[in-house]
Amino acid sequence: METENDEYGRQERIALVAIVVVASLTVAPAVAFSYYCYIRNKLSKRLKNHSTTGGFSKSNVVGHGGFGLVYRGVLSDGRKVAN
C-alpha cells in the first residue's frame, strides 16, 4: 500500500526526469548550432582569403617587401591588389 509520501516522491522523480529531458533537448541543439556557426564562419574566412590571393601560391609572388613576401591578389569587385 502506497502512502502519501511515496506518491509525492514518485511525482518528484517524474518531474525531475521531465526537467532533465527538456533541458537536454534544448541545450544540445543550441550547442550544435553554435558549433556549426563557428565552423561555417571559420571556413568562410579561409575561402575568402584563398580566393583573394590564390592561396598564397608561389606563382602569385610579385616581390619582397620590408615585412616579407608581396603577393598579387584580386578583390571580389575585380580590383587587382598587392597583398
CA neighbours within 13 Å on the CB side: how many for 5?
0
Say if residue 1's pLDDT is above 60: no
pLDDT tens for 27-46 read: 989 999 999 999 888 887 77
Q: Which residues pair with 70 in a beta bridge?
A: 63
Please measure the distance between the N-terminal and C-terminal CA atoms of the chain and give it in whole angstroms: 82
Beta bridge partners of 80: 74
Report the pLDDT averaged over residues 50-68.
77
Cell of 72: 598579387
Structural domains in the chain (count): 1
Domain that holds residue 65: 4-82
pTM over the 0.75 mark? no
| CB-CB contact of 61 with 74 (8 Å) | no
Collapse the DSSP code of 9 into the 3-class scheme (helix H, G, I; strand E, B; otherwise coil) and give the result: helix
